Amino acid sequence: MLVVIALGGNALLRRGEAMTADNQRRNVRIAAEAIAPIAEHHKLVVAHGNGPQVGLLALQAAAYGKVEPYPLDVLGAQTEGMIGYMIEQELGNRLPFDRPFATLLTMIEVDPNDPAFDNPTKFIGPVYDKAEADRLASEKPWVFKQDGDHWRRVVASPLPKRIFEIRPIKWLLEHNAVVIAAGGGGVPTMYTQSDGNGRALVGVECVIDKDYASALLARDLDADLFVMLTDADAVYRDWGTPAQKQIRRAHPDALADMGFAAGSMGPKVAAARRFVEVTGRNAAIGALGDLSGIIAGTSGTTVSAAATGVAYGG
């Protein structure tokens, strides 16, 4: 069985923790302990988040004013390498020595006409007061929006269109490698017209949602199971209210109108629904510590074309 696992940001950096290498290493080690038994019995692709790591690199770049900050596509590539290195090493310490690993810098194409570019909504980087945000907006092609009492830069979050490295990923899986790919939603790229040379592939100042990118990766690989790991043990209807109910199993159509939060569970549910609708195979959402139960279908939330409506639990 081929399993694609998308690690949420909490698997790398827990809420409120300092963004140190030691903290990230410790959390990756915990994730590897949960994932290694899956890799022993199945083919495995691991994707991951990178929001805090990109934010840290952006802050470090802003503190060094002698050069222009690196663009988001370059920062994304940096974090793919950094996080992939840690995952490779910690998984490698728990699997047989001869099991191959590979981390791929994964470029993902977006559409320049995606409507997301007309309304940037993804907050990135540090907070500013209004005066500083206005100054930066006048100096750089940046857009700022209010985030609570402060102002932050926002960028577009277009849908992923194509994964360029899908062929080498398939080749690596055929040779039993554990593959780490599409980290942080992949490196956003698009085609532009180049004078006299036809199309040219360029990086883009945007952020691709990692759940949508991971779902595309799982679909393109024809994965048997797509799992998104987060800090919640399952998807809940009416989360945060006295009426909240844990969803144990659901048909994708039954989740369509439940109104999950756009900044947290919404993209995961949408990605799961899309994967199931296209492939007819199962997707699941749950906590890292419950991974073995999620694979077995006894923990988390399973989205399945074979389900009838919604089944609630615990």
- Choose, from 8, 125, 210, 282, the residue flagged as catalytic: 210
Across the beta sheet with 143-147, the strand order is: 122-128, 150-155, 143-147
Please state, for a pLDDT cut of 70, what percent of the chain lies above it. Answer: 94
Q: What is the DSSP letter of 181?
A: -
Whether 240 shows a pLDDT value over 90: the answer reads no
Domain-located, residue 121:
no
Whether 272 shows a pLDDT value over 80: the answer reads yes
Domain-located, residue 264:
yes
Burial class (CB in 10 A: 0-12, 13-18, 19+), 43: buried
- Choose, from 183, 184, 268, 300, the residue flagged as catalytic: 268
What pLDDT band is residue 1 in, cutting at 50, 70 and 90?
very high
CATH number at residue 57: 3.40.1160.10
pTM for the complete prediction?
0.91
Told to judge if 197 belongs to the known catalytic residues of this protein, a careful annotator would answer no
Whether 152 shows a pLDDT value over 90: the answer reads no
| 200-206: average pLDDT | 92
Whether 314 shows a pLDDT value over 70: the answer reads no
Domain-located, residue 184:
yes
Told to judge if 268 belongs to the known catalytic residues of this protein, a careful annotator would answer yes
Told to judge if 145 belongs to the known catalytic residues of this protein, a careful annotator would answer no
Domain-located, residue 52:
yes
CA distances from 257 to 197, 262, 269 (A): 47, 13, 11
Told to judge if 161 belongs to the known catalytic residues of this protein, a careful annotator would answer no
- Choose, from 8, 10, 49, 282, the residue flagged as catalytic: 10
- Choose, from 122, 183, 184, 282, the residue flagged as catalytic: 122
More reliable by pLDDT, 242 or 9: 242
Whether 50 shows a pLDDT value over 90: the answer reads no
Furthest CA-CA distance within the chain: 63
What is the spatial distance between Cα 264 and Cα 56, in angstroms, rounded to a whole number?
21
- What's the confidence (pLDDT) of residue 159? 96
| 200-208: average pLDDT | 92
- Look up the domain containing 53 and give its range: 2-109+163-313
- What's the confidence (pLDDT) of residue 19? 77
Q: How many residues does the chain have?
A: 314
- Choose, from 8, 9, 84, 286, the residue flagged as catalytic: 9
What pLDDT band is residue 241 in, cutting at 50, 70 and 90?
confident
Domain-located, residue 154:
no
Amino acid at 40: E
Q: How many domains does the chain have?
A: 1
Q: Are 190 and 200 in contact (CB under 8 A)?
A: no
Domain-located, residue 67:
yes
Told to judge if 9 belongs to the known catalytic residues of this protein, a careful annotator would answer yes
Domain-located, residue 141:
no
- What's the confidence (pLDDT) of residue 242? 87
Domain-located, residue 139:
no
- Mean pLDDT over the full length of the chain: 89
Whether 202 shows a pLDDT value over 90: the answer reads yes
- What's the confidence (pLDDT) of residue 255? 94
Lowest mean pLDDT among 121-125, 182-186, 292-296: 121-125
- What's the confidence (pLDDT) of residue 61? 66
Q: What is the pLDDT of residues 52-75, one digit of tens each?
A: 776 677 666 666 667 777 888 988
